[in-house]
Copies of this chain bind each other. A is one copy, B any other.
C-alpha cells in the first residue's frame, strides 16, 4: 500500500453537515425556507439569511455553555427556527437531540436525563409540556421558546431555569461563529426510537453518516430533489431527521416548506397551493386528511407531482385514492430511525408499483434475509425472511449501550419480515414480533391486513394475537371502516377465505371508530393487544 506517497493527492473534504447550508447560501441564496403558522400566517427566509442567523445562533448556544459533544434538546414542530437550531448546533459540533412531543413526559424525562440536556428549545405551544419536563429534569438550565408565526407567545415562568424568547437570545447573544474544522465522525444528532414496546433506545447520527445518507438519498431514483422543487416536509423533524429533508433540501437547492404544528388537510392544501409545492413527504394518514379536505371543498393541488410515503405499508386502496384524487405519483418507502432512516424506496421514475412494495435499496444500503436464527437464507429472492441491513448510515451501537446492535458480520436486525422479488423489489411482510403462533404454526398478521385493507369500505386494519387455551394464540381482526361505510363480518371473512389458510381466519372481528395510533403515527398494536386480551 502506498498510502504515504499518495496522502494529499486529492483535497481534504470533511463530510460535515455545515456543507449543505454553505452550499445553499452561496448557490441558492434566495431560495426560501417557508414556515406555516396559525391562521395561514407564514414566515420565509432565503438560505443566505438562514445561514447567517444560524451562525449567530451558534454563538448564542456557545454563550449558554454548550460545547462540542454536548446535546441541545429540541422539542419542536417543523419550523425555520427549529432548522436554525439544527445548523447552529451541528456547525459547532453540538449534537441535536430531537424529542418527540407525543412521548410521555416520563419517557421524555428519561432520555433528557440520559443525554444530560442543559438547554431545551421548544415550540411556543409546547411550553406546558416543557414545564413538566423541567420539573422532572434538574439538568435543564435554559429554556428557549421558538415562536410561531401568527400566534401570541406566552413565556412560562420557571424556577431555576432561564427562559429565552428565541429572537431575544439571537439578538443578545448572537455573535456569529465559524463552522466546521472538526472530524467528520463527530456526532451530529441523537434520536430515540419511540417504539410501541420496550424502553426507547437512542441512535447517534454522525456528520459523516448524515452526509452520506443525504447524498445517497438525493439520487434521481430516490428523493431526486432538484433546485426547482418545493418540498413540503410533513414528516416531523423529530422522526429520524425528518427523513433527512432538512439536509437534502439545501444540498439540492430546493425550497423547503415547513408546516409547523399544522398537519391538517386545510393547512397543508393552503401551503401546497401558496408555495407551489412539487414534492411532499409524510405518512399516509396526513395525505388521507389532505384528500378528505379537498373532497370537502372540491379543491385541487395542481403543483404537487409526487408524494414520498413512509412510516408503514399502506392499503392499495388508499394509495390508489391518493394517486387519483391528488393526481400525483406516490413513492412508497421503508425506513427506520436506525437507518437514518432510508432503507428502500420506489424509484421516482419507475412505473407505479404496488402499495405493498417498498421499493429498492439505493447505493449505500445493503440487505440480507435470514432465518429466525440469523443464518442467511440460501435463496434471497422470492422467500420470506427476517430483514437485516448494513450500510453507510445504519446504527452499529445504541446511545449509551455497551453491546453492539449488529451481528458478527456487521448486519443490523430490523425485526421486520420481508420478501424480495426477482427484480429486487422489497415487500415488508410484517414484524417478526407481530407473528401469531397458533397450534405451533405461524400466522402473519400483515398478510391478512393487506387483504382486508384493500377493501374499499376499510380505512384502517390491524390483526393481533389473543391468548387461547387450545391453540396458544388466535388472531383477532380490528377494523376501522370509512365514515358511513358498512361491511358485514361475513363479507370480511369471505375476502380472506380464498386467500389464506382456513386456520388463519380470525376468531373475532372488532369494529372501532378510531384506531389507536402510536406516537409515530403507526397503529398501536401493543394497546390493541392489551384491549382485546
Indicate if the CB atoms of A227 and B347 lie closer than 8 Å: yes
* A182 beta carbon closer than 8 Å to chain B: yes
Taken together as a complex, chains A and B put the C-alpha atoms of A204 and B363 apart, in Å, by 24
Is A106's beta carbon under 8 Å from chain B?
no
Please state if A10 and B205 are interface contacts (CB–CB under 8 Å). yes
B9 touches A395 (CB 8 A): yes
Set B9, B212, B218: member contacting A397, Cβ < 8 A: B9
Q: Mark A51-64, 1 if CB is under 8 A from B, else 0.
A: 00000000000000
Known: A26-B366, A186-B3, A219-B215. A10 touches B393 (CB 8 A): yes
**Mask of A219-241 contacts with B, CB within 8 angstroms, 1/0:** 11100111110000000000000
Q: Is the CB of B221 within 8 A of A219?
A: no
Q: In this assembly, does A164 line the interface, its C-beta being within 8 Å of a C-beta of chain B? A: no
**CB <8 Å contact, A221 and B226:** yes
In residues 10-39 of chain A, which contact B (Cβ within 8 Å)? 10-13, 19-20, 22-23, 26-28
CA distance A20 to B362 in the complex (A): 11
User: How many angstroms from the CA of A27 to the CA of B390 in the assembled complex?
Assistant: 15
A319-372 residues with Cβ-Cβ distance < 8 A to B are 340, 347-350, 360-361, 363-364, 366
**Cross-chain contact B396 with A9 (CB below 8 angstroms):** yes
Query: Which of B10, B68, B348, B360 is close to A27, meaning CB atoms less than 8 Å apart?
Result: B360
Q: Give complex CA distance A208, B11 in Å.
A: 11
A-side interface mostly:
loop
Tell me the smallest distance from the CB of A98 to a CB of chain B, in Å.
Answer: 15
A10 CB contacts on chain B under 8 angstroms: 204-206, 208-209, 340, 392-396
A501: Cβ under 8 A from any B Cβ: no
List of B residues within 8 angstroms of A226 by Cβ: 220-221, 347-349
Does the CB pair A28–B251 fall under 8 Å?
A: no
> Are B221's CB and A227's CB within 8 A?
yes
Contact B361–A27 (Cβ < 8 Å): yes
Which of chain B's residues has its CB closest to A204's CB?
A: B9
CB contact under 8 A between A395 and B221, given known A183-B3, A186-B3: no
A220 close to B252 (CB less than 8 A)? yes
B-side contacts of A22, CB under 8 Å: 366
Q: At the interface, yes or no: A412 with Cβ under 8 Å from chain B?
A: yes
Known: A424-B27, A424-B28. A11 touches B391 (CB 8 A): yes
Within 185-218 of A, Cβ neighbours of B (below 8 Å) are at 185-187, 203-206, 208-209, 212, 215-216, 218
Most buried by B among A215, A347, A395: A215
A-B contact pairs, 5 of them (CB 8 A): A11-B391, A11-B395, A11-B410, A13-B212, A218-B218
Which residues does A use to contact B, with CB under 8 Å? Answer: 1-3, 6-13, 19-20, 22-23, 26-28, 68-69, 93, 182-183, 185-187, 203-206, 208-209, 212, 215-216, 218-221, 224-228, 251-253, 340, 347-350, 360-361, 363-364, 366, 390-397, 399, 404, 406, 410, 412, 424
Task: Supply 19 further A-B pairs (C-beta < 8 A) apart from A220-B224, A221-B252.
Answer: A2-B187, A3-B69, A3-B186, A6-B204, A8-B396, A8-B404, A9-B209, A10-B206, A10-B209, A10-B340, A11-B390, A12-B410, A13-B364, A23-B363, A26-B424, A215-B364, A220-B220, A220-B226, A228-B350
